[in-house]
Chain A
Amino acid sequence: MSASAEDEEIGPSIDSADPEERIAARRLRITKRLEQLRRAQLGEDDAANKDVKEELSISRKQMEESRHRLLRLVEDGYELVTNIRDATDAREGEWRTDEDEIKRQRKDRLDAEAKSGSEKFDEITKKWESALQKEIPQDLQEMLTQQKSACDAMIDEKNKLITDFQLELKSKDDQYVKDLKRQAEDIDLIIERMDEQVKELTRAYREELGEIETAFVAERSELLEANMNRWKAGVQSRLDKELDYLSTREKRVDDYEDQLRHLRVQDAEEYNMVKIKLETDVQILQQQLQQMKATYQLNQEKLEYNFQVLRKRDEENTITKSQQKRKITRLQDVLTNMRIKLAKQEKQYKEENQQLTDDYKRITEQFKEIQHKSMHFMATDQKKFHEIWLMNEEECKELVKKLLEEERVIYEQQLGLPWTAPDLAFTENVGPITNTRFKKSAISAHQVAQEAFSVTLAPHSDRSFHDEGGSDRPINSTIFTKYSPKLVKQILELLGDEAGFLIESKLNKLLAPLERDERCLMRLDAIFTALSVDTEDDIYLLAGYFINHGLQKPSAARPSSVQESTQNEPQTDRSEKTEKSERDDKQLAPEDRDTDREVDKVTGSREDETDAESTKVAPHGDKWSMFDLIHPNEVYKALRQFVEDHREPPKTNTKHTQFSIAMLDDRDNTEDATYWATYPAVLSDNTEKVWDALVEGLEKYNELVTSRSTLITETDALRQQNAELRMLLHQYVNSRVNQELEIPPTRVLQLELNPPH
């Protein structure tokens, strides 16, 4: 543990900053752990091996020994060989150190030499300086010889050194050669040793191999012997066992044989008994078998027959099945065809529809255009009419004026009578005659309804509604002359309640917040449009339907109401029936039936009120009290009747209302004739007769005068002629030509004039 702790101290630590060092540390730790594990294992192994060791086989021992011996040999050989190298290395090392030493000595010696040399040189050079000062040649000579000897000594010294070094070099050379030789020897030695080693090793290997072989052989033979012994012992024991077994078996066989004999005798007896019994059994069973066979045959035949029948049926079934299948396929074909056709036709009809709607649009447009045109033409026509009227009127007036003037002239001048002017008031009229009295038909059903309600509102405060209503409203509906407003209101209320199905459901929602009367009004309006009731007359007609029913069976209605009060059940039954009938009738709006039913229920309660009212009204002695309203349940029938009767007219009416062309025919032209007749009536018959007689007389007078005038003109002409002729005659007579002629014309003339008459 201490060692490992030290390791950790010295080695890389895990806490180090350097990542590589940390990795190294971890690795170290892991290797340490592994090492410990391994050591532990090894220890165990060693312990285990010690036990096993004694049992080691000869061959193993031999192998181990051989291995050790060989290993030792190899190691020894390697050592032997490398010894030489080591020796040389050591020598080399020693030599190097020696060499260093020698080198150092040499250097020292050289340095010392150089030092002494330089000293001597300095000395010599100094002496040279003193030599210059010497005057005496002997001295100089002596000096020079001294110098020379010193130089020689120095040179000698140097030379000695050189020779020393050269000697050393030579010795080194010798040493080198020796070394070379020695190295060669060493190499030879190494080679020799290697060879020896190889030889020895091969020999050793061979020996060891042989020994191992013999060891193996020995081991093998030993093993063989041991095994053989074991084998033999086994065989012997088996043989003994076999013999024992044989003897026991023989004994047993004898026993069994005795037993068998005994058993056989017993069994033979038993066998005989059983045999007899079984034979009888067999006979019985055979009989049964015969019977069974007979029944079996019968059954078989039956089943065969059945089988045949079933097969036939099966065939038939298959045939019919196939037929059915074929039919199904055919029908499916047809179905698909029909579908295709249907789709085609749908498409076609859609197209047609589209076309027709287009046409319709076009036509409506055309129609509007025409309407527009007709409006225009109408306006122009009216204008023209007006103008023509004015023109004619003026002409007539003028003519009248003229006529009257002439008459006055005739009376005053011709007849000498006093003239009185006739009445000319009509001439004051200008333009076409207009009549305001025709506007009575313009009152709409809506107004009537409104009126009826407004009228009935008033009576709540005052009973004398009629007079007041009449005074209040100048445009009073004519209907009120026929029916009392109260009645009308009742009728209308009934209509509004009962004919709710005619109103659109949307409208109902919209009307919810309004007051009752207003709501009634709006509903009535909608119902009227649905029934195409536009005018007062229509309302009148409608009311007639309501009341007529009442009139037709007043006795029937009343008892029924009485019955209603007394017996509710039959009434409800009937109402249900009527409802049913209604249902049949009401194909138009089936959704509204439910609402109707509710309405019925509500009105059912109201019926009593109305009945009570009607009963109340009756005693009042109103002139309309004799009109009795129909029962609310009958309203539907009445409406239906009304619609059926007026189905066509409403349609046209609607068209007319759409057109709303104020034709000229609408104008009342009855007065026109009288108007225009007043003009000729200015002159009376008497005056006319006078005028006729006057004309006659004047004509006669005229005739006479004219004849006289003609005669006058005749005489005048003759006179003139006479004069002319006289002149001519005069001319002729007096002319020279007469003379020239043989017979003068005068003569002739004379002759002629003087005929023989």
Chain B
Amino acid sequence: MTSMENIKPDVGGMSALSSTLVGDKSASKMSSHSAVSEKKSSSEAANRVPSPTDKDKDNPAADTRNMRRIIAEDPEWSLAIVPTLVELCIKHLVVNFEHNSKVLHDLEPKHKVMLLEKISTDIPLKVTALLVDDEGYWKRCCKARWQICDVSAYGRSWKRMYFERHLQRIIEQFVPETTDSTELTETLPLCSGFVRKLDIRQLLPPVREAPKMGAEDDISEADASDTMEGPEIDHFDFGAVLPSLPYIEELSIVYGVHDAGMNFEWNLFQFTARDCLLLAKCVAACKTLRVFRLNRSKVDDDKVRVLISHLLDHPSITMLDLSHNIIGDRGARAIGKFLNNHSQLTELNIYDNNIRVAGAQAIAHALTKNTLLTKLDMRLNRLGDEGGQAICRALLKNTTLSELNLGSNELSEPTAAMLSQVVVQNTALRSVELSCNRLGPDGGKQLQEGMEENDTITYLDLRLTEVGQESEYCINQILHQNRERARAKRLRISIPSKGSPSPSQSVGA
């Protein structure tokens, strides 16, 4: 070690010469070190090795070029902390990825992965949208942006999730006439390939006089009166978005403001006729759409009629959700027409509306002819006994509907009697919900009698119907049997080739 001290360490030229002179221990270290830093020089060094050793004996310091150059032994030095060239390169690429993104295609797969693991999630979408397909990157992006990320709702694709939520955010934050639409127009082409579903939870109305979300509580009243009198305020126009999304399948819209808090104004929740017309047009033009939801938007009869008149004979819509609106009988009639073989609907949700007897009759009439609809949810309407009976009569003829929800519809005994007939005859029904209707003990008994002849219904909700415990218990027993039978059938279908019936089927009374 002493002999090494008088030789000055040359940090810059970590030539391989030094490795020959260092002790055994450090030699290996050095050689590896040099190999890492300068791979090319190692081969040259191997050639040069013998000559300097001979000369060194004569005069070590005579020739500066051939002078021994030795690095002082660094006890803290470790190979692990030295980044490889690849790492360095990737680090550099990561830093400059925003400006030079094309390099991604030229990298080997494992390097690509390394690169994608490191690049920032803040890189503009313009760069990454079409370039990066790696799910890991998009997962990071999503995680960085949102706390709760349920990727299962997005077809297990992080990228899709990112783009859909990104686009949702843009649309939800969009204030007509004030927000600059450049962001939207820039993002749209990038998103177009990935967006399948749009779940718009709020749509902001255009700002009048003062900023919409401002703290001016005192103006709000005047504002409200103004807007009521003045021309109607239109919301975001989906005509600009939907045509450029060729793969969109689900669309959920709420014309209203989320989290209005103390800034509540009535006009924040206004779904204008023009909005409705525009929406109806662009939805009708979008032929890929399968699911369409329009909730909590104060959709009244006229708007429903406009919507339905545009959606008639739409080739792909299979689910329509108009829950939490104020659809009345006329709107229900329009929906009935829509059901009447003018659509591909299999699921209809008109939960929490204002449909009464006439509307129920219209829908019931449609049900007698419809052969596609399997789910119908009319909970929280006001069908009354007459409407309920109409629907039950329709079910005597219908053979496709399997789920029916008539909860909280002011039904009573006559409907129960009718339903007991249905239960006996109809074999398509699987699930019926009748909760919160005052059926009474007699109705319960009738239902019980009906159910004793049925073996297909697996779910019948009779809570808060005052049917009496006995009949409820009996019905529950029958339901349980039916469920077991359905399960056995399912099992048999899934294992049809087994000769001997599996013991699991044998679950008797």
B427 lies within 8 A of chain A by Cβ: yes
**Residues of B with C-beta under 8 A to A7:** 425
Within 8 A of B (CB), among A86-101: 86-87, 89-90, 92-93, 96-97
Contact assessment for B501 and A48 in the assembled complex, using a CB-CB cutoff below 8 Å = yes
- 0/1 per residue, A63-92, Cβ < 8 Å to B? 110001000000000010011001101101
**For the complex, what is the distance from the CA of A96 to the CA of B461, rounded to whole Å?**
22
Contacts known (A3-B425, A20-B371); A46 close to B436, Cβ less than 8 A: no
**Complex interface: stretch among A50-58, A268-276, A730-738:** A50-58
A-B pairs with lowest CB-CB distance, top 10 = A49-B506, A90-B436, A93-B408, A89-B408, A86-B435, A90-B464, A45-B501, A89-B436, A86-B463, A60-B503
Contact assessment for B503 and A56 in the assembled complex, using a CB-CB cutoff below 8 Å = yes
B380 lies within 8 A of chain A by Cβ: yes
A42 lies within 8 A of chain B by Cβ: yes
Contact assessment for B506 and A53 in the assembled complex, using a CB-CB cutoff below 8 Å = yes
Contact assessment for B504 and A42 in the assembled complex, using a CB-CB cutoff below 8 Å = no
Seed contacts A12-B397, A90-B436, A90-B464; 6 additional CB < 8 Å A-B pairs: A10-B397, A24-B371, A48-B501, A64-B504, A90-B435, A93-B436
Contacts known (A20-B371, A49-B508); A92 close to B503, Cβ less than 8 A: no
**Residues of A with C-beta under 8 A to B331:** none
Q: Tell me the minimal C-beta distance from A184 to chain B in angstroms.
A: 15
Contact assessment for B504 and A60 in the assembled complex, using a CB-CB cutoff below 8 Å = yes
Contact assessment for A31 and B489 in the assembled complex, using a CB-CB cutoff below 8 Å = no
Size bracket of the A interface: 35 or more
Q: Tell me the minimal C-beta distance from A25 to chain B in angstroms.
A: 10
- Pick from B396, B407, B464, B505: contact of A10, CB below 8 A: B396
Interface residue ranges, B against A (CB under 8 Å)? 371, 379-380, 382, 396-397, 399, 407-410, 424-425, 427, 435-436, 453, 461, 463-464, 485, 488-489, 501, 503-508
- 0/1 per residue, A308-349, Cβ < 8 Å to B? 000000000000000000000000000000000000000000
Most buried by A among B435, B464, B506: B506
Contacts known (A6-B425, A20-B371, A24-B371); A64 close to B507, Cβ less than 8 A: yes
- 0/1 per residue, A1-20, Cβ < 8 Å to B? 00100110011100000001
Contact assessment for B436 and A42 in the assembled complex, using a CB-CB cutoff below 8 Å = no
Q: Tell me the minimal C-beta distance from A96 to chain B in angstroms.
A: 7
A606 lies within 8 A of chain B by Cβ: no
Contact assessment for A46 and B485 in the assembled complex, using a CB-CB cutoff below 8 Å = no
Contact assessment for B427 and A31 in the assembled complex, using a CB-CB cutoff below 8 Å = yes
- Pick from A38, A45, A82: contact of B505, CB below 8 A: A45
A28 lies within 8 A of chain B by Cβ: yes
A207 lies within 8 A of chain B by Cβ: no
- 0/1 per residue, A412-445, Cβ < 8 Å to B? 0000000000000000000000000000000000
Q: Tell me the minimal C-beta distance from A108 to chain B in angstroms.
A: 21
**Residues of B with C-beta under 8 A to A96:** 382
A35 lies within 8 A of chain B by Cβ: yes
**For the complex, what is the distance from the CA of A128 to the CA of B200, rounded to whole Å?**
62
Count: A-B pairs, CB below 8 Å: 77
**Residues of A with C-beta under 8 A to B371:** 20, 24
**For the complex, what is the distance from the CA of A322 to the CA of B489, rounded to whole Å?**
92
Q: Tell me the minimal C-beta distance from A740 to chain B in angstroms.
A: 175
Identify the closest chain B residue to A20 (Cβ). B371
**For the complex, what is the distance from the CA of A20 to the CA of B370, rounded to whole Å?**
11
Contact assessment for B427 and A52 in the assembled complex, using a CB-CB cutoff below 8 Å = no
Contact assessment for A42 and B407 in the assembled complex, using a CB-CB cutoff below 8 Å = no
Contact assessment for B508 and A50 in the assembled complex, using a CB-CB cutoff below 8 Å = yes
Contact assessment for B508 and A46 in the assembled complex, using a CB-CB cutoff below 8 Å = yes
Dominant secondary structure of chain A at its interface with chain B: helix
**For the complex, what is the distance from the CA of A38 to the CA of B492, rounded to whole Å?**
11
**For the complex, what is the distance from the CA of A93 to the CA of B409, rounded to whole Å?**
8
Identify the closest chain B residue to A89 (Cβ). B408
Contact assessment for B435 and A89 in the assembled complex, using a CB-CB cutoff below 8 Å = yes
Within 8 A of B (CB), among A156-215: none
Contact assessment for A63 and B504 in the assembled complex, using a CB-CB cutoff below 8 Å = yes
Contact assessment for B407 and A89 in the assembled complex, using a CB-CB cutoff below 8 Å = yes
Contact assessment for B380 and A89 in the assembled complex, using a CB-CB cutoff below 8 Å = yes
Contacts known (A45-B505, A52-B506); A92 close to B424, Cβ less than 8 A: no
Contacts known (A20-B371, A64-B507, A86-B464); A28 close to B397, Cβ less than 8 A: no
**For the complex, what is the distance from the CA of A283 to the CA of B173, rounded to whole Å?**
129
Contacts known (A7-B425, A35-B427, A96-B382); A86 close to B407, Cβ less than 8 A: yes
**Residues of A with C-beta under 8 A to B506:** 45-46, 49-50, 52-53, 56
Q: Tell me the minimal C-beta distance from B316 to chain A in angstroms.
A: 22
- Pick from B399, B485, B503: contact of A42, CB below 8 A: B485
Q: Tell me the minimal C-beta distance from B173 to chain A in angstroms.
A: 27
Contact assessment for A90 and B408 in the assembled complex, using a CB-CB cutoff below 8 Å = yes
- Pick from A10, A45, A60: contact of B425, CB below 8 A: A10
**For the complex, what is the distance from the CA of A64 to the CA of B507, rounded to whole Å?**
8
Contacts known (A45-B501, A60-B503, A87-B464); A97 close to B410, Cβ less than 8 A: yes
Contact assessment for A89 and B379 in the assembled complex, using a CB-CB cutoff below 8 Å = yes
**Residues of A with C-beta under 8 A to B489:** 38
**Residues of A with C-beta under 8 A to B408:** 89-90, 92-93
**For the complex, what is the distance from the CA of A52 to the CA of B502, rounded to whole Å?**
10
**For the complex, what is the distance from the CA of A56 to the CA of B501, rounded to whole Å?**
13
Contacts known (A28-B399, A60-B503, A92-B380); A86 close to B436, Cβ less than 8 A: yes
21 A-B residue pairs with Cβ-Cβ distance under 8 Å, sorted by A, are A3-B425, A10-B396, A10-B397, A24-B371, A24-B399, A27-B399, A45-B505, A48-B501, A49-B501, A49-B505, A49-B508, A53-B506, A60-B503, A63-B504, A79-B463, A89-B435, A89-B436, A90-B408, A90-B435, A93-B380, A93-B410
**Residues of A with C-beta under 8 A to B461:** 82, 86
**For the complex, what is the distance from the CA of A7 to the CA of B506, rounded to whole Å?**
30
**For the complex, what is the distance from the CA of A437 to the CA of B290, rounded to whole Å?**
139
Most buried by A among B399, B485, B488: B399
Most buried by B among A27, A48, A86: A86
